[in-house]
Amino acid sequence: MSVRAESNAFSDAVNSRGRIRQMVRGAAFAVAVLLLWPILPGSSTPALVPALSPFVAVGAMVASRSVHALAWLGLVVGLAVMVRRRLFCHWMCPVGVCTDGAGRLGRRFGRRIVWFPRLGPWFVLLTLGGAGLGFPLFLWLDPLARFAGVFDLGGQGPRLAAILSIVGLLAMLGIALLWPNAWCGRICPLGAFQDLLSAVPASCRSMMRRRRRVPTEASTELLVPRRMLLGAAAGAACAGATTLCGRNKPSSLRPPGAVAGPVFSGICTRCGNCIRACPSGIIERDLGAGGWTGLLTPALRFRTDYCREDCVRCTQVCPSGALVRMSLAEKAGMRLGLPRVDMSLCLLGEDRECSLCRSRCPYEAVRYVFSEADYTLTPRIDPNKCTGCGACEAACPTSPRKAIVVVPI
């Protein structure tokens, strides 16, 4: 066979493999859209896409000191990329399909691949270092979570929150348009984490060879690169400072199953799955009420409905374990918050008749006590029965402020 024939055969094989790869990536993109758009049977399908990220799986596990229900998906992908570098990026990532398209469009307009600082490894190191202290700094930057956030459009809650939920993906596409391949190759933390995982087998083989040759020297050599130690230490310092600064900030009312403390804000990826899954429409993105560390995390708002006693859907679609999966029996034994009554707003304080908070409470936790001093009935909440579901707040007829409001405990 001539050299030209061999070259043509090689070129045909490369083109064929490229077409197969494009078909697989297109199919993966379509499946991701179908899973995130809740039209398939099964209430937990939206969680499958962001849960594929090993970056989220490992970061959440380290920060929460536990293994959440869907962590195995990310761990399986992590094992796969240890065998073949960036396997997920090259064949399955839906964001990669979008950024590649934006990059091709940019090159058509004359943009070229230029040098760009490698930020991805630093995002990974800072996140893992912060996870050690319970606050993974950039877990929310995971591209699969940002892709899931696009589906918030048309959902419940303030329009500003829905717009902010897609800013991340738009920024990725903008970077890919202006600097082709910069996002996937230099910035993406998921891609950088895959690079880190794929380097582990080679490092282990190199270490074993070195120990066989010079065992005494290998035992005293610093095997961890200095840059990794520096990045992890910086991440831990930033996480500690963030936790201290947010310690006295007002807390928001969180959905059922939320992990305690600042860990929730750290491991929540802001994917919006819980918001879209809630049948009552009471979960909205926090726009700063819980402090800047909790920006865009889910919070409960009992404007017109409450957290129903027969629903745990939000806990089933969380990909990071920020909302721990639970049964209905477990939910009945937990408390989201505790109602407070403002008698200056309550209709009973104005000698008007109202019993909506008591009649709408599904747990019979509200009773009326007669006050001899004010000669009025006053609502009283039994903390042993109340779960903070918000039925009383949703039913309260006072406007614009509610006379009974559920507050965090």
pLDDT in tens, 29-79: 999 998 988 665 557 889 999 999 999 999 999 999 999 889 999 999 999
**How far apart are the two ends of the chain, measured CA to CA in Å?**
78
Is residue 222 pLDDT above 70, yes or no?
no
- pLDDT tier at 376, thresholds 50, 70, 90: confident
Domain spans of the chain? 335-409
Distance CA 341, CA 53 (A): 44
Single pTM value for the model:
0.87
How confident is the model at residue 105, as a pLDDT? 93
Is residue 127 pLDDT above 80, yes or no?
yes
Instruction: Give the CATH architecture of domain 335-409.
Output: 2-Layer Sandwich (3.30)
Sign (positive or negative) of CA dihedral 253, 257, 263, 269: negative
Is residue 325 pLDDT above 70, yes or no?
yes
Distance CA 113, CA 106 (A): 10
Sign (positive or negative) of CA dihedral 322, 332, 286, 317: positive
How confident is the model at residue 10, as a pLDDT? 42
Burial grade of 345 (CB within 10 A; 0-12, 13-18, 19 or more): middle
* Coil/strand/helix, residue 251: coil
Distance CA 210, CA 216 (A): 10
Distance CA 206, CA 203 (A): 5
Structure tokens at 239: 């996480």
Structure tokens at 218: 């290998």
Structure tokens at 320: 């990071």
Peptide bond into 400 cis (omega under 30): yes
